[in-house]
Structure 1
Amino acid sequence: MAYVEDPGPGYGSVAPRAAFGSDAPALSLTGAWRFRLSPSLAAAPPDVADPDFDDSGWDELPVPSLWQLHGHGRPAYTNVHYPFPVDPPHVPSENPTGDHRLRFDLPAAWPAGSALLRFDGIDSCGRIWLNGTELGVTKGSRLPAEFEVGPLLRPDGNVLVVRVHQWSAGSYLEDQDMWWLSGIFRAVTLLARPAGGIGDYWLHADYDHTTGLGTVRVETGPDVLLDIPSLGVAGHPAGEPLDLPVEPWSAETPRLYDGTLSTVAERVPVRIGFRTVTIEDGQLKVNGRRLLLRGVNRHEHDPRTGRAVSRETALADVLLMKRHHVNAVRTSHYPPDPAFLELCDEYGLWVIDECDLETHGFGPLGWDRNPSSEPMWMDAYLDRMRRTVERDKNRPSVILWSLGNESHTGDNLARMADWVRERDPGRPVHYEGDHDCSYVDVHSRMYATPSEVERIGLGEDDDQRRRVLPFILCEYAHAMGNGPGGLLEYRELFERYPNCQGGFVWEWIDHGLAAPGHFAYGGDFGETIHDGNFVIDGLLFPDRTPSPGLTEFAKIIEPVRIDPGPDGIRVANHYDFVDTGHLTFTWVLEDEGIAVAQGVLDVPVVHSGQSVSVPLPSWPPTRGESWLTVSASLSSGTSWAPAGHVVGWGQLPVSPAPARPAPVVRGPVFRTTGRLILGAGEFDAVTGTLTTLGDHPVRGPRLDVWRATTDNDRGSSPGPSEASQWRAAGLHRMQHRVIEVDADGDELLVRTRVAPPAQPFGLFADYTWTAFDGGLQLRVDVTPDGEFPGTLPRLGLTMAVPGTFGSAEWFGGGPGEAYPDSRQAVRIGRFSSSVDGLQTPYVYPQENGNRTDVRWARLTNPAGTGIRVDGDPAFDFTARRWTAAALETARHTDELESGSLVHVTLDAAQHGLGTAACGPGVLPAYRLVPRKTSFTLLFRPVASGVAN
């Protein structure tokens, strides 16, 4: 156990160096290995390193992989707490140990001499033997380790053995809010190292924005030549600086120059991006321009393979980011697979490259014995930082080095920062945990409220050091479940204050693991300690389907903004560098959601940070409510999106809906046995509740204030959450008392009081029904009675219609869901969907699917009959095949069972979403407080083939 519990970084590996390929022979050792899992080191076979050891009875396991995802042990998820006793550097004796064995032959032409065996990722500690000789031990799970093996290789029958321990002293440094999974999860490669080859290199490629010149210089061995054919560079001594007129690299224009480093023995292809990172005037700049980071935090995750993420999956992430206007990534909380950073170089993303370090589990213990301030961990801290920087130093996309995450503070972190600054003065140092900013170059915060951000933007920070630094939110807008809400307010602050330079939404993808019928989260594998669905907090669902949160984020951060202007249409360019010359602007005019005219809009080229106003196009007259939608799209295809991909859009109102004539009242109310009949409706004579509309049975509508709670409603911060206050108030079990049913004359008036048990407060709700040709009008008057203790989840009506009404069409906000503080991505139009398609399949079921600003909606069956609801002027609605109570109870999507009814909500108001799952709650402007409210709806049956 000595090496497992040693707080040092391991032993036996060669000095860290850059990740790169060359024309020297290489042999991938990925594939099927022999594998055996033992419950402890003591139970593992002692002679496993013997080349003649018989492993024929062992299982096969793919490498790369994580053994828990192949039936060996179980995954476990914790956010903060260590799943083992906190007794650093010791770990339990019951330490699952996975022995991996591979027999391999060398290719026929494999050269004699030096060779390196490279492991790109072993979680958490690996001890390695080749042909019976120990090579060493590696820790630092998300970091590479290379071992010299040339003298040990033989042409045939090589035996490579890797013993991996689930827990080690290194586990104390790897508490990174993710699944605890173990194994050889990144590539294993044998690399021939020719004499006189290129052992390492550091390609410095700076750019002077005042002269347009790039300066390239390479730190490497002797006799290395540099070729850059497109710049006319051939046979240049690599170590000598060379000034050239170049196009700079940026996330918007990721210009890479292909080149070669060569000696007589080896050729190394290089991709050169010229750019210079500086901090000037309290701002983070690249190539002389202030950046606005529209970023995401990205864990590496695949629902089937965990952190063993393929290049194809990494590319899918990059393409989705680019198509949703994301321009920056924080590699939370470790360096990603090198392939991801290569893709960031190629496609264009700013990167904060974070070291493989987090000790969050010491936080609940008051940070007592936290490794960040304990000398015995110093070597491990520095080793992890060195391996991060050396591996990724040639990536132009990397613009900041991050020391790690949530490890408090201490001398070890300060030493890391000093080392980075000395080794690479060309990139600033980031670390959020240095609250005084004594050893970092940017001021970083997590989940600061908009008011705190504004205070920082105004220069009112209490700390003088922080006031002169760029400010970045390394985490904000926790994207857990339905949300986040309130993104717009952050964007406005980032654009208002130059020192507030954006941030990174937490996080990119839900970490659900594939399970039969659903995605699994913490606790689904029998963990004794876990943090439930807190691992389900991304802008993508686990299968990489964009969530409504990503659609909203994309709209808010779109680089071209189109709004009504004083002289017509205002087009603003929010790119950091490029103009709009690559875009085509088109318009479409819709009358009641039906396109009636369209064309191309003549917009002059708009430079970065500028805006123009252009006149409105000419269009034919319209008769109904009309909207003009203007879109900016790619004129030509790019590497990340085809021609026509929309990068910005805006809507302008053209004409309001014509005044609705007052409906002609068609009373009176008729009484029959147990029923009241008014126009197209039948009502229960005792309760006054609508039971039939036309030929269709219905239940309700009646006043309702409850919604299935969201992750943000439930919150995670200290203090009572919105959901707990709602439940304490009894809002989930409101009871209805009928005060009066007045059926005399042309109106049906139903007076009620709706209130929770055991509480003195409630709501008076008066329903006034009148009939008109073809339908019913309902006015609802709501008056609070008594003092409510807080907010309401929603305020509106709930009703049920036949389950055959499976098709929905509406005119209003769409196509996706929207809530008061998350509605920028919806536009006014005419949309249709199945009822099933209206649902957002959040991994942890919760309130979803609300359509907002709806003028009218209809639900129909396959024959085309159904009901239509009109607002006066608008309402919100949902339609689903289960009740809010069933949605509240479910813990996985496959627990939701369709019934015989479609349950419909028709709302006057909704409470906002906020981001209280981890961060600020709902901002005051979006909080739903009880107040006197009136709203009107019109109900009518829909006949088959009638477009009413």
Structure 2
Amino acid sequence: MSAHTRTDYVEDVSPGSGALPPRAWYASSDAVSLPLGGSWRFRLSDTADAQDDSFAAPGYDAGDWAEIQVPGHWVLQGHGSPAYTNHRYPFPVDPPRVPTENPTGDHLRVFGLPAGWPAGGDAVLRFDGVESCARVWLNGTELGEFKGSRLPHEFAVGALLRPSGNVLAVRVHQWSAGSYLEDQDQWWLPGVFRDVTLLHRPAGGVRDFFVHASYDHVSGTGTLRVDSEVAGRVTVPDLGVDVPTGEPVTVPVEPWTAETPRLYDGVLATEGERVPLRIGFRTVELSDGLIKVNGRPVLFKGVNRHEWHPEKGRALDLATMREDVLLMKRHNVNAVRTSHYPPHPAFLDLCDEYGLWVIDECDLETHGFTEQGWRDNPVDDDRWTPALLDRAARMVERDKNHPSVVIWSLGNEAGTGRGLTATAEWIRARDTSRLVHYEGDHTCRDTDVYSRMYASHAEVERIGRRLDGGPLKRRALPFILCEYAHAMGNGPGGLADYQRLFEAHERLQGGFVWEWIDHGIAHPELGYAYGGDFGEELHDGNFVCDGLLFPDRRPSPGLVEYKKVIEPVAVTGDGTAGTVRVTNKYDFADLSALAFSWTYEVEGEPVDSGSLPVPALAPGESAEVKLPAVPAGAPAGEAYWTVRAVLACETAWAPRDHVVAWGQLPVSARRTPYVAATARPAPGDGVISLGPAVFDARTGALRAIGAVPVTDLRLDVWRAPTDNDDGAAWQGDPRYGPLWRRLGLHRMRHRLDAVEAGEDALTVRTRVAPAARELGLSTVYRWTSDGDRLRLTVSTVPEGDWTVPLPRLGIRFGLATADLVRWYGGGPGEAYPDTRTAARIARWQSTVDELQTPYVRPQENGARIDVRWAELGGLRVEGDPAYWFTARRWTTEQLDAAAHRTDLVPGSGSAAGVWVNLDHGQHGIGSQSCGPGPLPRYHLRAEPAEFSFVFSPVSAPRTG
């Protein structure tokens, strides 16, 4: 081998050379394999041509090289730094050329064959994922090179293997021509990040095969045919099937669906090998303008899923993949779009096993070309078409035997062009059993589905009613939102409003929330890092943290809300009527797997409970179910029936009694708190006493209630803007966070106009207004007491031209200390006007610290909705009407200024230990970080308002 450096392939638009044709991914029963993961020797160079190729020769001394783990990304193991961009290429756009400054990682692994490795046959070296371009040698012989980071590549190596001392050398470049096809809104993370495996291939063994398993819903039969490159036999013991490959057989079967994922174990046996099969019978078709599976329309309740681990990046192990699937199933998610590339193949095995519909997406996105009006876009350049076809073929051939995969996606945000058309034509010719998807072509020239991103509720409704115009073909196709409800930070809002539209119009077949998990990188000083935290010259900040899971895979409030919104059983009715209406919202399953129960609650406390007989309703059916009589001796007060649907037995994805759905039916209304104004303000030495409270005589400021000091109680309209408040820079609609700052709502000033001690009340008149603006809020605080309790009534009247909604409207104050919080109202988690579906009325308790929602970038969070009363720090606060409650150990201003959670220091620079907000109103959340803002009905308009709170001293709740 010559010791030279060859880099011409890096900028070659071809997919590579030397690799075997793509094939189905499977595990053999007979053929041995050798995983080559673990510790590898590693050397990083700044440029593609900084080192020669001598490292690939046997005997090369790499003793002074570093060691890294494979699978893995070298930038997450102390070599270089990760970088995040949404769609802008982090290098000059000059296709297919890439920068000379091209970090290049040389990898070395020396291995021996295990005992018992067969002497005959061949062997294949398989790479399941390398970013972005690799050149491979074995024992000094160059095998070839490849691009296509999230795709498998195999090389024939049988003639090169030795019993021991095999030298596998891999040169990986961060940038290549392939990088132009992988601009996928994610961290750029070079490395060998999926499995590397040596596979023995026995003589006469299976190479590639295609399982065709359709289902006829009329006859209840399935037809199986297995096409195999090498002839053999197919057996399925449970079905009595034993047929040659290529021969169809029709037998009675149970169909596979995401709700009922019935798999049949089979075997494909050739002369040299046995391959286990897991067969799911199902038929996907476009019929009557709808996506149908097994003859029925489906409603996708989906998520987009990038592969992610906060420490390992895209190098996921099986346990992490299984955790994702279990979390999806437990939160009622039934579908996954594999944005924006095929996932690790084991993930699809899990989708088959547990039951998830899958849109499998090609490893293709050229989004950065939008910066230049799509000029020179590879998708419309014939030179790149072979690379596009190669990527599609490697996806389809690898994943074609998975029943969970019901739709192929051509890619994402790659514009349109001849290359996509060629890809769609190839897929349709290869596989007629699935549909084809692509969002970017709104004419639907090459697709079977009309797909959009982030369309507003109003537009989605027009589409549902087929009033959207456009090409006739498009209007006749089913519609999905392949991305919607951008789950960045606090949110997304409006999920329930979307779901009502999906369920009202059959053309609307659901959507996929963007996205599954925050891509924060674990960082010793910052907690979780995002774009810009590694010194990137070009980055898109925390736009990479936009998931329903936090980076550590804890569900966010957004996922809890989504679970409730998409629950497969509706529980509705009037609690006073004595009946509850139960509706089965599954597409295929009846309700026989669920058990129903009732609880009768008064003032948030359970009084009695029992089981509720509900028939095994078929999909779409409803029934009126009689509730028991109100329990004898139940106390008076606000009452609810809470009805739950839980798993009657343990399943593969959740234990028995796992809550699938629930509903609350009000029985009697809440009694509003009343305080007779019997106590009189009593002037003292610079103070005014009123009942249990003491006020500053000059300013009217509340100083204490009983023995509890109170700091700086005043009207508050500011919240630390959420990612959705701040919105995306390209959004055409007003972004509320910037508008609020422009108006100065983050720097409101409070002018004291009068302090009036009357016969039965202390009245403080103020004007609250932003500096440099003429508008304001005329605000009156009226305090009354019955001697034991203190009532505050706040009246506000807007002055001036308020055209912008308020962030919040309420009061805030500081307490010296508080730990445990108890409340009666919505919980257990946070909720806002358009994220409140999952808030259940009950009694709850939490520590102040646990009230905080740990968004990667700090922002408004933690509000509990519909609070009747709350107790903390020695105070009880009742509301008239019910209110939003928030308590934190830092001010809103400190929360607003923080870039990471580690910036939040309890009590730092504050006169109080805990700051409390009691809000009469909150502005909605929406999903304007990359979607529509909150619907108008969730706007908090500046208009006259009056609200009251009743304070009384209580024994401070303690932990434990």
| Closer, same or farther: CA 368–729 of 1 in aligned 2, 3 Å | same
Q: Residue type matched to 1:913 in 2?
A: I
What is the correspondence of 1:644-659 to structure 2 with a 5 Å cutoff? Answer: 644-658=657-671
Deviation of 1:943 after TM superposition, in Å, equals: 3.4
Of 491, 513, 537, 2:546 maps to: 537
Q: Is the 8 A contact 1:29 1:190 kept in 2?
A: yes
The separation in 2 between residues aligned to 1:114 and 1:653, in whole angstroms, is 70
The separation in 2 between residues aligned to 1:700 and 1:694, in whole angstroms, is 16
Deviation of 1:264 after TM superposition, in Å, equals: 2.5
**1:671 correspondence with 2:683:** yes
Deviation of 1:21 after TM superposition, in Å, equals: 1.1
Of 849, 855, 859, 1:842 maps to: 855
**TM-score between both structures, scaled by the size of structure 2:** 0.97
The separation in 2 between residues aligned to 1:389 and 1:263, in whole angstroms, is 23
Deviation of 1:408 after TM superposition, in Å, equals: 0.5
Of 870, 892, 910, 1:857 maps to: 870
2:562 corresponds to: 553
| Closer, same or farther: CA 31–176 of 1 in aligned 2, 3 Å | same
Deviation of 1:12 after TM superposition, in Å, equals: 0.2
**TM-score between both structures, scaled by the size of structure 1:** 0.98
Deviation of 1:685 after TM superposition, in Å, equals: 1.4
- Provide Cα deviations, 1:660-696, integer angstroms capped at 9, x if missing partner: 5x43323211112221111111111122111111011
- Provide Cα deviations, 1:307-328, integer angstroms capped at 9, x if missing partner: 0011100000000000000000
The alignment covers a number of residue pairs equal to 938
2:579 corresponds to: 568
Q: Residue type matched to 1:830 in 2?
A: R
The separation in 1 between residues aligned to 2:101 and 2:942, in whole angstroms, is 56
Of 567, 585, 591, 2:596 maps to: 585
**1:780 correspondence with 2:780:** no
1:98 corresponds to: 105
SS in 1 for 2:54: coil
The separation in 2 between residues aligned to 1:141 and 1:645, in whole angstroms, is 39
Give the RMSD, CA atoms, in angstroms. Answer: 1.2
The separation in 1 between residues aligned to 2:67 and 2:888, in whole angstroms, is 45
2:8 corresponds to: 2
Deviation of 1:945 after TM superposition, in Å, equals: 8.7
- Provide Cα deviations, 1:471-494, integer angstroms capped at 9, x if missing partner: 010000000000000001110111
SS in 2 for 1:453: helix
| Closer, same or farther: CA 596–180 of 1 in aligned 2, 3 Å | same
The separation in 1 between residues aligned to 2:156 and 2:784, in whole angstroms, is 87
| Closer, same or farther: CA 384–769 of 1 in aligned 2, 3 Å | same
Deviation of 1:563 after TM superposition, in Å, equals: 1.0
| Closer, same or farther: CA 751–164 of 1 in aligned 2, 3 Å | same
Of 642, 653, 656, 1:640 maps to: 653
Q: Is the 8 A contact 2:690 2:787 kept in 1?
A: no
The separation in 2 between residues aligned to 1:740 and 1:313, in whole angstroms, is 62
Deviation of 1:506 after TM superposition, in Å, equals: 0.1
The separation in 2 between residues aligned to 1:901 and 1:658, in whole angstroms, is 33
What is the correspondence of 1:620-635 to structure 2 with a 5 Å cutoff? Answer: 620=632, 621-635=634-648
Deviation of 1:193 after TM superposition, in Å, equals: 1.1
Q: After the TM superposition, which of the residue ranges 843-852 and 39-48 deviates more from structure 2?
A: 39-48
Q: Is the 8 A contact 1:567 1:613 kept in 2?
A: no
2:613 corresponds to: 602
Q: Residue type matched to 1:730 in 2?
A: G
Q: Is the 8 A contact 2:598 2:609 kept in 1?
A: yes
- Provide Cα deviations, 1:443-482, integer angstroms capped at 9, x if missing partner: 0000000111111111112121111001010000000000
- Provide Cα deviations, 1:402-439, integer angstroms capped at 9, x if missing partner: 00000010000010000001111111100001111011
What is the correspondence of 1:185-584 to structure 2 with a 5 Å cutoff? Answer: 185-234=193-242, 236-463=243-470, 464-517=472-525, 518-564=527-573, 568-584=579-595
The separation in 1 between residues aligned to 2:486 and 2:625, in whole angstroms, is 38
1:930 corresponds to: 942
- Provide Cα deviations, 1:865-890, integer angstroms capped at 9, x if missing partner: x0010112311110000000000000
The separation in 2 between residues aligned to 1:107 and 1:938, in whole angstroms, is 76
| Closer, same or farther: CA 286–856 of 1 in aligned 2, 3 Å | same
2:22 corresponds to: 16
**1:912 correspondence with 2:918:** no
Q: Is the 8 A contact 1:113 1:151 kept in 2?
A: no
What is the correspondence of 1:673-692 to structure 2 with a 5 Å cutoff? Answer: 673-692=685-704
Of 126, 137, 143, 1:135 maps to: 143
Q: Is the 8 A contact 1:876 1:909 kept in 2?
A: yes
The gaps in structure 2 that reach 5 residues or longer are 1-6
Q: Is the 8 A contact 1:494 1:501 kept in 2?
A: yes
Q: After the TM superposition, which of the residue ranges 105-114 and 838-847 deviates more from structure 2?
A: 105-114
1:863 corresponds to: none
Q: Is the 8 A contact 1:77 1:522 kept in 2?
A: yes
Q: Is the 8 A contact 1:729 1:789 kept in 2?
A: no
The separation in 1 between residues aligned to 2:487 and 2:835, in whole angstroms, is 12
Deviation of 1:222 after TM superposition, in Å, equals: 4.2
Q: Is the 8 A contact 2:131 2:190 kept in 1?
A: yes
Of 39, 53, 59, 1:46 maps to: 53
Deviation of 1:710 after TM superposition, in Å, equals: 0.2
- Provide Cα deviations, 1:595-650, integer angstroms capped at 9, x if missing partner: 11000011112110111111121223331111110000000000000010011100
The separation in 1 between residues aligned to 2:621 and 2:51, in whole angstroms, is 66
SS in 2 for 1:732: helix
Q: Is the 8 A contact 2:203 2:272 kept in 1?
A: yes
The separation in 1 between residues aligned to 2:635 and 2:447, in whole angstroms, is 59
Of 796, 813, 819, 2:826 maps to: 813
Q: Residue type matched to 1:593 in 2?
A: G
**1:726 correspondence with 2:734:** no
| Closer, same or farther: CA 659–184 of 1 in aligned 2, 3 Å | closer
Q: Is the 8 A contact 1:44 1:97 kept in 2?
A: no
Of 877, 883, 908, 1:875 maps to: 883
The separation in 2 between residues aligned to 1:11 and 1:468, in whole angstroms, is 43
Of 805, 809, 815, 1:795 maps to: 809
Q: After the TM superposition, which of the residue ranges 868-877 and 554-563 deviates more from structure 2?
A: 868-877
| Closer, same or farther: CA 293–944 of 1 in aligned 2, 3 Å | closer
State percent identity of aligned pairs. 58
- Provide Cα deviations, 1:505-544, integer angstroms capped at 9, x if missing partner: 0000000000115111000000000000000000000000
Of 831, 841, 859, 2:844 maps to: 831
The separation in 2 between residues aligned to 1:657 and 1:489, in whole angstroms, is 27
Q: Residue type matched to 2:268 in 1?
A: L
Deviation of 1:659 after TM superposition, in Å, equals: 5.9
Of 714, 735, 744, 2:726 maps to: 714
Of 158, 161, 168, 2:166 maps to: 158
The gaps in structure 1 that reach 5 residues or longer are 861-865
Deviation of 1:376 after TM superposition, in Å, equals: 1.1
The separation in 2 between residues aligned to 1:927 and 1:14, in whole angstroms, is 58
**1:892 correspondence with 2:905:** no
Q: Is the 8 A contact 1:140 1:384 kept in 2?
A: yes
- Provide Cα deviations, 1:180-223, integer angstroms capped at 9, x if missing partner: 00111001111111111111100000000000010000110343
